[in-house]
Amino acid sequence: MDESVFTSGKQKMEEVLSLVKEDLMGVQTGRAKPALVEGVKVEAYEGTLLEIRELANISAPDPSSIMIKPWDVNLLEKIEKAIRKSDLQLNPVVDNDLIRVNIPSLTEERRQELVKLVKQKTEAGRVMLRQVRIEIKKEIDKQKDEAGVSEDDVHDMYDRLQKLLGEYNKRLEEVEKNKEKELMEM
């Protein structure tokens, strides 16, 4: 019985969880967080696309604003333009050698839209977890024909696989609830 199936499966499920968490960090909550803008792509040098985190220092001096200080002041307008074009619905303002972004408080309607978005993103995570389960199940099925692997061993591996999936689904649900709670706080 090959245990590496579960080691690699657990690693893949961990990657899915990290991916969903990272994706949810970009969902606006009404509070200023550098993570909100750091992934925005900017056409920096001669068509090179870079994220803001690669071009500037990003800070949140207070709960309602973000400050972006580019290392190269020639990029001020490009960063401002990229934020404006993004789907974040933010209005950046160039102030000398930095960019200020005021984060408007969310309306109840917008909060509900964002909760739906969070649910969509976590559901996509669940789909990815199920895909990992399918891959692991195929690996277990390959072991059925090997010498020294009984039917009971295979059933035990299926049970372990289901428990592992349940554990990661529970963790994903926890991430979803925390993000929804964060969104609904005024």
Q: Could you report the per-residue pLDDT of 27-37, keeping only the tens digit for each?
A: 777 778 888 88
Overall number of domains in the chain: 2
Q: Are the C-beta atoms of 154 and 96 separated by less than 8 Å?
A: no
Query: Please, which pLDDT band fits residue 63 given cuts at 50, 70 and 90?
Result: confident
| Residues 62-77, mean pLDDT to the nearest whole number | 89
Residues 173, 112 share a domain: yes
Identify whether residues 17 and 44 lie together within a single domain.
Answer: no
- Is 20 domain-assigned? yes
H, E, C per residue of the chain: CCCHHHHHHHHHHHHHHHHHHHHHHCCCCCCCCHHHCCCCEEECCCCCEEEHHHCEEEEEEECCEEEEEECCHHHHHHHHHHHHHCCCCCCEEEECCEEEEECCCCCHHHHHHHHHHHHHHHHHHHHHHHHHHHHHHHHHHHHCCCCCCCHHHHHHHHHHHHHHHHHHHHHHHHHHHHHHHHHHCC
Closest residue by Cα to residue 93 from 108, 85, 83:
83
CATH number of the domain to which 14 belongs: 1.10.132.20
- Rounded to 10 deg, the angle between the 151-184 and 4-25 helix axes is 10
Share above pLDDT 70 across residues of the chain, in percent, rounded to a whole number: 97
Instruction: Kindly state whether residues 73 and 125 are assigned to the same domain.
Output: no
Longest dimension (CA), the chain: 72
pLDDT value at residue 1:
56
Domain presence at residue 31: no
Q: Are residues 81 and 19 in the same domain?
A: no
Instruction: Look at residue 165 in the predicted model and tell me its pLDDT.
Output: 94
Within a domain: residue 30? no
| Residue 4 pLDDT | 84
Residue 71 CA from chain centroid, whole number: 26
Give me the domain span that covers residue 95: 36-102
- Residue 33: what are its φ and ψ, rounded to 5°? -140, 135
Judge if 84 and 45 occupy the same domain: yes
pLDDT in tens, 116-166: 999 999 999 999 999 999 999 998 888 887 878 888 888 899 999 999 999
Domain end, chosen from 102, 119, 149, is at 102
CATH code of 68's domain = 3.30.1360.40
**94 and 112 share one domain:** no
| CB crowding 22-42: b at 16 or more within 10 Å, else e | ebbebbbbbbbbbebbbebeb
What's residue 186's pLDDT? 57
Are 125 and 180 in a shared domain? yes
